[in-house]
Amino acid sequence: MGESLTKAFLGVIALGVSCIAIELVPVSRQAGYWNRCLESTVKWINEAPDLRGWDEKSKESLAVGVCNGAVYEPKLKTQ
């Protein structure tokens, strides 16, 4: 009796872990898209001649805003 109960518990645990893993797939995919956006935006900012004087934290902050959709101006205002 105890052995069959242990097998049942292990089956439920395996099912639960499988469901959690399946639920995490879209989250990890979105994180990958966001990381690629951040990397390409930082690269673009580093190439912009108007933004060369900015420190790295400011550039990353701008890149996070762009990737999150918080930047609405079509042209960057540097002054």
pLDDT in tens, 23-76: 999 999 999 999 999 999 999 888 888 888 888 898 898 899 889 888 666 666
Q: How confident is the model at residue 78 (pLDDT cuts 50, 70, 90)?
A: low
Within a domain: 75: no
Domain with 38, as residue range(s), is: 2-68
Higher pLDDT pick, 70 / 9 = 9
Nearest-angstrom CA–CA distance, 63 and 50: 15
Within a domain: 73: no
Domains in the chain: how many in total?
A: 1
SS3 26: helix
3-state SS of the chain: helix, strand, coil percent to 5? 80, 0, 20
Within a domain: 78: no
User: Is this prediction's pTM over 0.85?
Assistant: no
Nearest-angstrom CA–CA distance, 61 and 57: 6
Cβ pair 68, 41 in contact under 8 A? no
Q: How confident is the model at residue 79 (pLDDT cuts 50, 70, 90)?
A: low
